[in-house]
Amino acid sequence: MPLITGSAANFIPEIWSKKLNARFYASTVLMQIANRNWEGEIKSAGSKVMIRQTPSINIGTYDPMSPSVSYQNLGEEKLELLIDQARSFAFKVDDVLKAQADINLINEATQDAAENMKIAIDRQVLGTVYADVAASNVVDAASSGNEITKDNILDVIITAAQKLDEQNIPESGRWLVLPPWMCAMIKKSDFRDASLAGDTVSIARNGRLGIVDRFTIYMSNNLAITDATGKKPGDTGYAAATARTKVMAGTKHFLSFASQFNNVETLRLENQFGDGVRGLNVFGYKVVKPEAGVLLDAKKG
């Protein structure tokens, strides 16, 4: 009788639990902070959409004693939203592994892939769009003397709101994405008072940050981090002591996102008894209103 080799040798003698160990995922915020106004047009028409800008009309003076009216030409100012990014995943499950495990491995693995896909896209977008914030909307909270503490964090948030106010950005729909260490500082500050957060229970008790100076607060571990020289964690020479987090605030007018194609398919493998699963997400994003976003270059004090 021939010896059993390969997958069967590895899996047949073992008992596989029907319970899976828990996986924990980073929170994603992209769908809460980006607008998807043009996604439907892209899905049905192609790989890009031309976004026409609302014209800015000049206001002049008028003298009825010497009437003269000058007509303004409406420009063709427009932006292109391209679907030029793609992320994928692929894995295979041997038939013997499926039989011995006695759990729906493909469904569980596909759900894990979907969560990791969201996190990867979230990190990509948050890791790049901060560079497109209007220069006048950058708040330096990383230089010596400006580092963020529980005593000044409320002042920093109010300054971010002021930047939007100065640009005439609407108050409704404002968001602020903070790293966990800044959320903790808010809970330690005087802002833990429930009345200040527009809540009936203190944020230190209910764990929900609520609204701070018209900003709905989201917590994320996906914000970009750089050192004083611009290097990111993992880069050679990265100096953690000078790390600064690219905290983002704004409204949905700031960023547009569209996903044109999101597909998952299962196929039988040719060279082994098993299934292959692969997924593809094709998407694009663009900062369409730089003045509707704020960058807090934040360093822990």
Three-state SS at 52? strand
Q: Is the predicted pLDDT of residue 260 greater than 50, yes or no?
A: yes
- Give the integer Cα–Cα distance in Å for 201 and 14: 51
With a pLDDT cut of 90, the percent of the chain lying above it is: 42
Predicted local confidence at residue 74, as pLDDT:
75
- Give the integer Cα–Cα distance in Å for 216 and 33: 10
Domains of the chain and any CATH numbers: 25-52+75-301 (3.90.1690)
Cα radius of gyration rounded to whole Å, the chain: 26
pLDDT digits (tens, 9 = 90+) for 158-207: 999 999 999 999 999 999 999 999 999 988 877 655 445 555 554 443 34
Asked whether 101 and 20 are in contact (CB, 8 A), the reply is no
Predicted local confidence at residue 191, as pLDDT:
64
Predicted local confidence at residue 56, as pLDDT:
75
Predicted local confidence at residue 219, as pLDDT:
92
Three-state SS at 197? helix
- In sequence order, the β-bridge partners of residue 80 are 50
Angle, to 10 degrees, between the axis of helix 153-166 and the axis of helix 180-188? 110
Q: Is the predicted pLDDT of residue 102 greater than 70, yes or no?
A: no
Range from 14-23, 151-160, 234-243, 250-259 carrying the lowest mean pLDDT = 14-23
pTM, two decimal places: 0.80
Q: Could you tell me which of 212, 240, 194 has the C-alpha nearest to residue 153? A: 212
- Give the integer Cα–Cα distance in Å for 129 and 10: 47
